[in-house]
């Protein structure tokens, strides 16, 4: 595979070619793994199996899950591709057959005639991995999720017992309500601009659909829940699939239109509150909650849509920072303030406090010069009580992935949990970092070194109680 033409497949963006299994004897641990942790840290991300035709941004690679299972203070590691029908078809033909989200390609006739996957839109299953209602799912926002077994073997596409219809694209960023256990998710469709909130109960059974009408298909990546609302950002970032099919740039950024913020009642009453403000883009929320007639939203702000059809340069020049937005329901006013000057992305919280007042946000963060050395070498803790940002620094050359808050099963305090992420540090190797949420100054309480590279990726979660 010659990846030299693809900036976003260099360095630790480059894929690994092996699926590996390492037991406790093969994983060196520095420090001590908390004994009462039983479950798995899993992270999804792109890992091209064949040399791509086009690679816009790290959105296009075949999904691969990296998992560290913890039990009795010991760790086991596994990584597996998600065996999608697109990947299986490419394996059969031993080459890349499909295009990217920015440039779709017609599927060769011989592939369709041979029973290969006919959909030109490749479901990469590369964005998130989630455990809810006893289902382990690899998610990608352009299609159905893939159901996995605990050992990461792939069962296949999952339609929630028929709740998802052909063409429905389920978000990779659902939120779990800590009170009801409901999964609050959404679908969009390639053939419609509309947006549908989808709610599944704690057993993963479909419960409710709440439709929202739009004139144009917006790029809506994440959603946030509060006690009564689903909040989404409708930025002036649009995708036109007919342009993608013609090979034209399907993405457009139209800042004069501003960004709308929609608060959609979770009860389905339909009284959507729409707020308007200057144009901005965001990939990820941190948390949100309601207080005295206001909705407070913490999220990572970006000044504009951070990609085009043009192949990425491998360097992201745009700053991105934690912001706090306050929406006044009576006056419809929007207050939008920078919370910290630290560059960050992949914001998370203690999800027992999802949609509720909380103290700490966590995000992959940077304390080095942005620019050619872009990326995140720290885990940041954003204290919304004191305004302080604290960094756990893994070294100037390191790359730290999305931090996941893992609750301490024996405590309800945010400070007593742990924050985990994969770190790649040239010269040191790659490891799962476990940091005490209440003591960032101490650095990792444990580093679990994995003897194979773990490429940069997207989203991770802690799967409480999931074991091999
Ligand atoms: Fe995301």
From the CA of 143, how far away is ligand 1's center (Å)? Answer: 15
- Please, which residues bridge with residue 299 across strands? 285, 323
The pLDDT, as a whole number, for residue 240 is 83
Mean per-residue pLDDT over the chain, rounded:
94
CA of 458 to the centre of ligand 1 (A): 7
For ligand 1, the distance from its centroid to the CA atom of residue 460, given in whole angstroms, is 10
Distance, CA 277 to ligand 1 centroid (Å)? 23
CA–centroid distance, 300 to ligand 1, in Å, is 11
CA of 127 from ligand 1 middle (Å) equals 7
Distances 110 to 50, 118, 159, 161, 306 between C-alpha atoms, Å: 19, 10, 28, 32, 36
Asked whether the beta carbons of 395 and 378 are under 8 A apart, the reply is no
Specify the pLDDT at position 420.
Answer: 98
In this model, does residue 42 exceed pLDDT 80? yes
The tens digit of pLDDT for each residue in 276-328 reads: 999 999 999 999 999 999 999 999 999 998 776 666 665 667 889 999 999 99
Where residue 265 falls among pLDDT bands split at 50, 70, 90? Answer: very high
- In the prediction, which pLDDT does 319 show? 84
φ and ψ at residue 82, rounded to 5 degrees: -80, 120
Q: Is 438 exposed, middle or buried (0-12, 13-18, 19+ CB in 10 A)?
A: middle
Flag whether pLDDT at 233 surpasses 80: yes
Identify the CA nearest to 46 among candidates 10, 9, 86. 9
At 314 the pLDDT is 59
Integer-rounded Cα radius of gyration of the chain: 21
- 243 CA from centroid of ligand 1 (Å): 24
* Angle, alpha carbons 353-359-365 (nearest 5°): 100
Query: 61 CA to middle of ligand 1, Å?
Result: 15
Judged against a pLDDT cut of 80, whether residue 396 lies above it is answered with yes
Lay out the sheet containing 273-277: strands in order across.
224-225, 229-234, 259-265, 273-277
Q: Tell me how far the alpha carbon of residue 362 lies from the centroid of ligand 1, in angstroms.
A: 15
The rounded distance, in Å, linking the Cα atoms of 348 and 88 is 33
CA dihedral 197, 357, 365, 304 (to 10 degrees): 50
224 Cα: distance to centroid of ligand 1 (angstroms) = 12
Residue 308 is predicted with a pLDDT of 66
For residue 309, the model assigns a pLDDT of 63
Q: Distance, CA 37 to ligand 1 centroid (Å)?
A: 26
Percent of the chain residues topping a pLDDT of 90? 84
Report d(CA 333, CA 276) in Å as an integer: 8
Expressed in angstroms and rounded, the spacing between residue 222 Cα and the centre of ligand 1 is 7
**How many angstroms separate the alpha carbon of residue 159 from the centre of ligand 1?**
21
Q: How far is the CA of 453 from the centre of ligand 1 (A)?
A: 22
pLDDT at 372: 64
* Predicted local distance difference test score (pLDDT) of residue 312: 63
Distance of CA 210 from the midpoint of ligand 1 (Å): 22
Q: How far is CA 321 from the centre of its chain?
A: 17
Q: Measured in whole angstroms, how far is the alpha carbon of residue 182 from the centre of its chain? A: 19
For residue 199, what is the enclosing H or E element?
Answer: strand 192-200
218 pLDDT exceeds 80?
yes
CA of 347 to the centre of ligand 1 (A): 10
- Report the pLDDT averaged over residues 380-399: 97
Please name every residue paired with 336 in a beta bridge, in sequence order, or none if there are none: 325
- Tell me, in angstroms, the distance from the centre of ligand 1 to residue 346's CA: 7
**Quick one: pLDDT at residue 65?**
98
pLDDT of residue 306: 77
Q: Tokens standing for 335?
A: 């207050």
Determine which of 204-213, 306-315, 370-379, 419-428 has the lowest per-residue pLDDT on average.
306-315
- Does 152 score more than 70 pLDDT? yes
The pLDDT value given to residue 311: 60
Confidence band, pLDDT 50/70/90 cuts, at residue 104? confident
3-state SS, residue 352: helix
């Amino acid at each position: 595979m010659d990846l030299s033409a693809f900036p976003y497949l260099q360095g630790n963006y480059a894929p690994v070619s092996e699926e590996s299994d390492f037991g406790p004897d093969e994983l060196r641990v520095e420090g001590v793994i908390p004994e009462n942790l039983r479950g798995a840290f899993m992270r999804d991300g792109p890992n091209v199996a064949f040399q791509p035709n086009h690679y816009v941004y790290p959105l296009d690679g075949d999904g691969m899950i990296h998992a560290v299972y913890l039990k009795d203070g010991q760790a086991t590691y596994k990584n597996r591709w998600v065996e999608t029908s697109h990947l299986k078809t490419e394996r059969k033909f031993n080459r890349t057959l499909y295009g990217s989200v920015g440039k779709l390609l017609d599927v060769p006739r011989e592939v369709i005639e041979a029973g290969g996957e006919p959909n030109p839109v490749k479901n990469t299953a590369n964005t998130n991995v989630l455990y809810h209602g006893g289902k382990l799912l690899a998610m990608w926002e352009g299609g159905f999720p893939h159901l996995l077994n605990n050992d990461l073997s792939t069962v296949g596409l999952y339609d929630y017992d028929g709740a998802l219809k052909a063409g429905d694209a389920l978000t990779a960023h659902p939120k779990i309500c800590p009170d009801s256990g409901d999964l609050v998710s959404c679908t969009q469709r390639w053939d419609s601009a509309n947006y549908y909130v989808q709610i599944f109960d704690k057993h993963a059974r479909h419960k409710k659909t709440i439709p929202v009408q739009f004139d144009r298909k917006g790029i809506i990546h994440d959603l946030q829940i509060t006690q009564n609302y689903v909040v989404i950002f409708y930025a002036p970032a649009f995708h036109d699939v007919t342009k993608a099919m013609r090979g034209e740039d399907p993405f457009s950024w139209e800042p004069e239109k501003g960004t709308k913020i929609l608060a959609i009642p979770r009860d389905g009453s339909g009284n959507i509150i729409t707020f308007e403000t200057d144009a901005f883009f965001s990939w990820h929320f941190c948390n949100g909650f309601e207080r005295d007639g206001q909705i407070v939203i913490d999220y990572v702000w970006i000044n504009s849509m951070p990609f085009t059809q043009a192949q990425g340069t491998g360097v992201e020049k745009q700053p991105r920072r934690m912001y706090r937005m306050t929406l006044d329901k009576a006056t419809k006013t929007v207050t939008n303030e920078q919370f910290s000057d630290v560059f960050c992305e992949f914001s998370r919280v203690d999800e027992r406090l999802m949609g509720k007042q909380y103290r700490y946000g966590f995000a992959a963060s940077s304390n080095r010069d942005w620019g050619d050395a872009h990326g995140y070498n720290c885990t940041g803790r954003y204290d919304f009580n004191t305004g302080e940002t604290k960094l756990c620094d893994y070294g100037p050359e390191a790359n730290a992935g999305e931090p996941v808050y893992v609750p301490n099963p024996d405590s309800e305090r945010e400070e007593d949990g742990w924050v985990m992420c994969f770190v790649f540090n040239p010269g040191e190797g790659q490891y799962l970092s476990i940091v005490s949420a209440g003591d960032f100054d101490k650095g990792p309480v444990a580093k679990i070194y994995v003897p194979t590279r773990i490429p940069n990726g997207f989203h991770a979660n802690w799967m409480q109680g999931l074991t091999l």
